[in-house]
Amino acid sequence: MCVQTLRRGCTIIVPLYADNVLGLSKLYVRLVDMISSAVDMSMFPLAGFMMDRFGRRYATVPGICIFATGMVLMPFTNTFTWLLLAAIMMRFGNGTTSGTMMTLGADLAPAEGTGEFLGLWRITGDFGGAAGPVVVGNIADIFGLSISAFALGGIGYLAVGIFLWLVPETLQRE
């Protein structure tokens, strides 16, 4: 749930920050999104390799930590270039975690009731995804976009803690 909140919150907060705080033109807002998205998608093969070679936590923990750190750094940006670098950092971290949540769900699913488990797993993630824009919007409305970014970063670090201390490694080696 925390990971999906961070992911969906990112898709809302970066363009809002670019427009409302930095005053970037629509072209530059689109460039930030386009370039950082390209970095995100280019990490898909690396994410699969890391999960299969080293383990699910090995791909998830560093990736979410990088993502959350990029989010926390965003409020310190004051130009297109610095925002682009923060967004690239976020999306690099996100890209290296691509597929980890569904793979982990499949690994943890019991032999009996796999479909029900994965359905509930997905609903939990979707709830987190739906919460992302709500968290960003409500916190920004009260405290501003910078505090929203810090809150999302904190949610990302909470996810890292959960993965480190509560989620077992599920990669089975033969």
Tens-digit pLDDT string for the chain (174 aa): 999 999 999 999 999 999 999 999 999 999 999 999 999 999 999 999 999 899 888 889 999 999 999 999 999 999 999 999 999 999 999 999 998 888 888 898 998 999 999 999 999 999 989 999 999 999 999 999 999 999 999 999 999 999 999 988 888 876
Closest CA to 154 of 37, 65, 59, 22: 65
Closest CA to 84 of 97, 100, 70: 70
- Rounded to whole angstroms, the Cα distance separating 59 from 93 reads 9
Q: CB under 8 Å to 38, separation ≥6 — which residues?
A: none
Are 7 and 133 in contact, with CB atoms under 8 Å apart? no
